[in-house]
Amino acid sequence: MTIALTFPGQGSQALGMGKALAENFSVAKRVFDEVDDALGQHLSRVMWEGPLEDLSLTVNTQPALMAVSLAVVRVLESEADLDIARDVAFVAGHSLGEYSALASARSLGVADTARLLRIRGEAMQQAVPVGEGAMAALLGLDFDDAAAIAAEAAQKDVCAAANDNGPGQVVISGHVAAVNRAIELAQARGAKRAILLPVSAPFHCPLMQPAADRMREALANVEVREPLVPVFANVLAAPISSPADIRDSLVAQVTGTVRWRESVVAMAAEGVDAFFELGTGKVLTGLAKRISSGARAISVGGPDDVEGFLAALTASR
């Protein structure tokens, strides 16, 4: 069995996430404490007690999801004898999950990752005035068709393919008027559904350029090390390892397409036949099953999942 570790992105958050890990494993509690200290905020309290509106703020959601993912990594290293350099072929994360992937592979420190994601969340939220941008899911169209619709709908505005999540599941992003035009075009051209998404900003499109500029500056001021294993970059759908490439990829990711479907296909072509999603939710687990037929896909998010991971890891050795 050849393993890839995957890490979820925004939308997977839920109240109480990570609490059972902290209560059952001291190594997990230390991750949440480190993130709280790095941010100067009791983020873990927001994660466990709410309110949900506060957890759903982009500036909180991004470091919170990373914290849970890294807590899972530390628990698996402690309790299941996971050695990423020995046991894992690749790591990859969806959007902000790419930061979690890099931290899991020791390319970024946990505290630096938390601070970067706080900056990223603030920058992405502030890049476009509220009400000017939108995102929509186009379901039932392949990526090329969805991207063509976005380009046609743009006219003098911005509209672009933001996420290529899986077969027939593409998200577009841009100015409100352009996204609405794209929805109409998609419906006329056979999309099963075309719906606006409840998001606070138009992520992963050229409107995010101010946020990309801010992330370039932020990333220049943190240590980025070569990861223990290659990281599949969202914007390249290919593995990278050099610190310079990692910095460039994370900057490009802010405005670029999250090429998740292609990344899973490419990892499978490299021999990966087991995708373990570490953190909150099961979104990437479901996508892996759809994208890579026959691959094993398992989510690990709480204490009850550790034994199953250990059994799978033992069987792979």
Active site amino acids:
95, 204
What CA–CA distance (Å, rounded) separates 4 from 229?
10
C-alpha 123: how far from chain center: 17
Q: Is residue 5 a contact partner of residue 104, using CB atoms and an 8 Å limit? A: yes
Q: Looking at the DSSP assignment, which residues form a beta bridge with residue 3?
A: 274
Q: Is residue 107 a contact partner of residue 282, using CB atoms and an 8 Å limit? A: no
Token representation of residue 114: 């938390």
What CA–CA distance (Å, rounded) separates 127 from 93?
23
Token representation of residue 162: 């933001």
The H or E element spanning position 200 is none
What CA–CA distance (Å, rounded) separates 19 from 44?
8
Q: Is residue 96 a contact partner of residue 58, using CB atoms and an 8 Å limit? A: no
What CA–CA distance (Å, rounded) separates 174 from 164?
15
